[in-house]
Amino acid sequence: MEFASKEYFILLILLIPYILWYFLYRKKSEPTMQMSDTFPYRYAPKSWRMRIINLPMVLRCIAFTLVVIVMARPQTHNSWDNKQVDGIDIMMAMDVSTSMLAEDLKPNRLEAAKNVAAEFIADRPNDNIGLTIFAGEAFTQCPMTADHASLINLLQSVRTDIAARGLISDGTAVGMGLANAVSRLKNSKSKSKVVILLTDGSNNMGDISPMTSAQIARSLGIRVYTIGLGTNKVAPYPMPVAGGVQYVNIPVEIDTKTLSDIAAVTEGNFYRATNNRELKQIYKDIDKLEKTKMDVKTYSKRYEAYQPFAIAALIVLLFELLLRTTVLRRIP
C-alpha cells in the first residue's frame, strides 16, 4: 500500500500537545471534593468505569489518526512485472495510387492489403507499428505507436480513391514512400527495425530514387521487406462511365528487379503476391521472421483504498460518543 499525499502525516504531531493537555491540565479543571481523610478509600477496589475513564481520549486519538490516513489517500496496486516479450519497431509503407483499385485481388488490391495488414498488426501486440501511405507523394498516416486500436482505425480510414479524388498526387513514388518510413525509424532505439513496403507498380514519381532510400535504410540498420502486389499480366480495373462502371484490363507493371534489389541491399526479402491467399501468407512469413526479445515492465492500475479507514474512523467516533453520553457521562 502507498500514500498519494504523504505530507498529511505531519498532522499527527498535533496528538502530542493534545495528550499533554489532557493529562496535565484538563484534570486540574475537573471538579473535586475535599475530605478530611482518604485512608478508608485507599484500598477500595476500582470500578470498571474507573478503569476505562481514559478510553474516550484514546478513541479520539485513534479516530484522528484514521482521518489523517484518509487524507493521505492510501492506494493499492499490483507489483511491477518484468518479463521478456517479442517486440520490434515496424513501419508499413503502403501504395495507395489509383492502380490499387484494380480488382485482381478481392474486393480490390488496397482493401485486401488493408485487411491483411490489420490482421498482422493485431497479431503483434508488443510492437511499435506505424503507417506511411504514398502515391505520387508520401506522408505519415500514423507514427509508430503501441496503440494498435487507433492504428487500425487510421489504416481502415484510408480511402481507395484518395489519389483519384486529388487528395494526393497520383503516381507511384516508391522511393519517397520508403524514405518517409525510414525517417520515422531513424531515431528508434529498438534492436530490430523493419519497413514493410507494399506496391503494385514501379517508381515513376518523387525526388528520391528507391535505391537511394534503400542505401539510407541500410546505413541505419533498417531491414526492408518488399511486396509486389498484383497478377502477372493484366488486371480488371473499374472505369466510371455514364450510368455505371465499366471494367477494362490494365497491364500489371511491377518493377520486381528494383523491389528485389531494395530487399537485398537491406538484408530483407522480396515477396510476390498475386492473390489474397498469397498476400496473407507473406505477412505470416514476415511475422515469423521478425521477432526480437525485449524487456517490458508492466504495472496494474492504482485503486483508492481510503474507504475502510473512513468507515473505521466513523465507527470509532460513534463509539466514543456513545461512551461519553452513557456509561461515562459527566455531571457538570
Q: How far apart are CA 299 and CA 152, in angstroms?
A: 25
152 compared with 289, residue with greater pLDDT: 152
Q: What pLDDT is stored for residue 225 in this prediction? A: 96
Nearest Cα neighbor of 101 from 162, 173, 177, 169 is 162
Could you give the percent of the chain with pLDDT greater than 70? 86
Amino acid identity, position 154: L
What pLDDT, on the 0 to 100 scale, is given for residue 81? Answer: 59
Provide the grid cell at 185: 525509424
Q: Helix-strand-coil percent breakdown of the chain, rounded to 5?
A: 40, 25, 35
| HEC sequence for the chain | CEECCHHHHHHHHHHHHHHHHHHHHHHHHCCCCCCCCCHHHCCCCCCHHHHCCCHHHHHHHHHHHHHHHHHCCEEECCCCEEEEEECCEEEEEEECCHHHHCCCCCCCHHHHHHHHHHHHHHCCCCCEEEEEEECCCEEEEEEEECCHHHHHHHHHCCCCCCCCCCCCCCCCCHHHHHHHHHHHHCCCCCCCEEEEEEECCCCCCCCCCHHHHHHHHHHCCEEEEEEEECCCCEEEEEEEECCEEEEEEEECCCCHHHHHHHHHHCCCCEEEECCHHHHHHHHHHHHHHCCCEEEEEECCCCEECCHHHHHHHHHHHHHHHHHHHCCCCCCC
| Phi, psi angles (nearest 5°) of residue 149 | -65, -45
pLDDT value of position 162 = 75
Residues in the chain: 332
Judge contact between 103 and 110, C-beta under 8 A. no
**Sign of the alpha-carbon dihedral angle for 257, 173, 179, 143:** negative
In which band, very low, low, confident or very high, does the pLDDT at 126 lie, cut at 50, 70 and 90?
confident
Each residue of 20-57: pLDDT tens digit? Answer: 888 887 666 666 667 677 666 666 677 777 778 788 88
The DSSP call for residue 205 is S
Higher pLDDT, 81 or 118: 118
Average pLDDT, the chain: 86
Report the alpha-carbon distance of residue 111 to residue 115 in Å, rounded: 6
pTM exceeds 0.85 for this model:
no
Place of cell 455505371: 244
What is the distance between the alpha carbons of residues 267 and 261, in angstroms, rounded to a whole number? 10
For the stretch 177-215, pLDDT in tens is 999 999 999 988 888 899 999 999 899 998 999 999 999
Span 116-128, mean pLDDT?
A: 91
Q: How confident is the model at residue 233 (pLDDT cuts 50, 70, 90)?
A: confident
Q: Is pLDDT above 60 for 2?
A: yes
- Can you give the pLDDT at residue 256? 93
pLDDT at 53: 78
C-alpha cell of residue 218: 541500410
Per the model's pLDDT, the better-predicted residue between 194 and 323 turns out to be 194
The band of 10, judged by pLDDT with boundaries at 50, 70 and 90, is very high
pLDDT of residue 78: 61
> Mind listing the domains of the chain with CATH numbers?
56-66+307-332 (no CATH), 88-291 (3.40.50.410)
Better-predicted residue by pLDDT, 77 or 207: 207
User: Distances from the Cα of 240 to the Cαs of 126, 164, 211, 243, in angstroms?
Assistant: 43, 11, 36, 8
- The pLDDT value recorded for residue 176 is 95
Per-residue pLDDT of 260-301, as tens digits, reads 999 999 999 999 999 999 999 999 998 887 666 655 555 556
Which cell numbers in the block locate residue 237? Answer: 480495373
DSSP conformational letter for 245: E
154-174: per-residue pLDDT in tens? Answer: 999 998 777 767 777 888 999
Could you tell me which residue, 108 or 304, shows the higher pLDDT?
108
